[in-house]
Chains A and B, each alone.
Chain A
Amino acid sequence: MNVFELMMEYIKEGRVKIDREKFAGKLATVHDPCNYGRKSEKTFGHGYYDEIRWITDQICDTWVDTYPTRENNFCCGAGGGAWAMPYTNERLYYGRKKAEQIADTGAEIVVAPCHNCRDQIMKGLTKDFDLDIETFYLWELLAESIIVEPWNEEEVEKAHKESEEQWERFGVELEDEDEWTPPE
């Protein structure tokens, strides 16, 4: 199962409830990640184009496709490990196509279902091509729009017991005010 199928399962089975007011009145557009689209289509015979749109549709009132779209969509420009390579200018040069596509839709929200794509659109293209957009992971869009009901006392108690046991087992002790710093 992949991220789309799991999110769809939660929505269809009513395990998460969506507040459609959250993004009401904002025009959204979706990006097709190469790995879930073309590559998956070739490797597994199925490209995840509809799933991305279905989930977006559950959350957003209005969304439009870019042109071209789906299997002919442009890559964000950061595929193939481009974030880990020294070819920044080339990455942004490639991305001009994506930036044009996005600008043409007039959308305020861009839904990017993959890490690479989201970083490229949010941290690369938005600035370099002066885009007036907000970029979300697809699961971020869902997380931001679900109505969270706190667990009941019994569940909370059970979870506390489990977590205490777990951290003890791993020997993790939290001191107050202790900040985690990333390793060198």
Chain B
Amino acid sequence: MSQEPIKLGKRESKLRVDPKWADVCLTCGTCAGGCPVTGVDGMDPRKAVRMAALGLDDELINSRFPWVCTLCGRCERACPMGVEILAMMRKARGLRERDKVPGPIHKGTMMSMERGNNLGIPYDDWLFLLADMSKEMEDEGFPGFYVPVDKVGARVISTVNSKEPFGEPDDMKFWWKIYYAAHESWTVSSENWEGVTWGLFGGDDESMKEQARRVLENGRKVKAEVLLLPE
């Protein structure tokens, strides 16, 4: 952190979830004590709260801490004053310039908005994979099994974590086996089937809402009773 004296402006902050914050935090350090990344970059949640309380917003927003933090919420659970540390961390992430969001989170979020899943798996490949694997399942001892797509009237509609079709397609079979054994009437969507909301991690509320809207819309289209997000 800089050696220059820090000038405090008016006590207002983009990061503060509640205006009373600065006074609420006891600086007791309980949060820091329970946080597994305390010490990384000389930071901890108590310091992060102090930074927001003192108006050092940009320093926090541009630091790695809100991203190294796993948003696990142990700090907040333990805080005696109910300081909303998680909401603050997400805000800090959301205020990072979008092209400076670490890793592929922002790219994935945009991909999901454009192509319906974080990893950009094309429509035809998705359907082909499902058809192919349906046959595989039949050969593996599940006669009659197939993956119902956009099936109107299904009771359960399930989203999919794009890493599975992309890299570990066989892991999708766990749920398939359960549905088979339970004689469930279920379905997945041909489009916008992504169940992982990277907007959540990037602090991107708009994309998050849009993704949720699409998933709900898919559910409504097939009139499903149960929406399952196996995350």
Contacts and interface: CB of A to CB of B under 8 A. Distances in A.
A183 interface: yes
Contacts of A23: none
Given A86-B103, A172-B128, A183-B125, A75 B72 contact: yes
Contacts of B34: 72
Interface residues of A, number: 66
Nearest to A78: B70
Contacts of A77: 36, 70
B163 to A, nearest CB: 7
A79 B70 contact: yes
A18 B108 CA distance: 38
B127 interface: yes
Contacts of B40: 90, 93
A15 B182 contact: yes
Interface residues of B, number: 73
B77 A87 contact: no
Nearest to B175: A139
Interface in B136-193: 141-146, 148-149, 151, 156, 161, 163, 165-167, 169, 171, 173-175, 177-178, 180-184, 190
A143 B137 CA distance: 13
Interface of B: 34, 36-37, 40, 64, 67-74, 76-78, 86, 102-105, 108, 119-122, 125, 127-129, 131-132, 134-135, 141-146, 148-149, 151, 156, 161, 163, 165-167, 169, 171, 173-175, 177-178, 180-184, 190, 196, 198, 200-202, 226-231
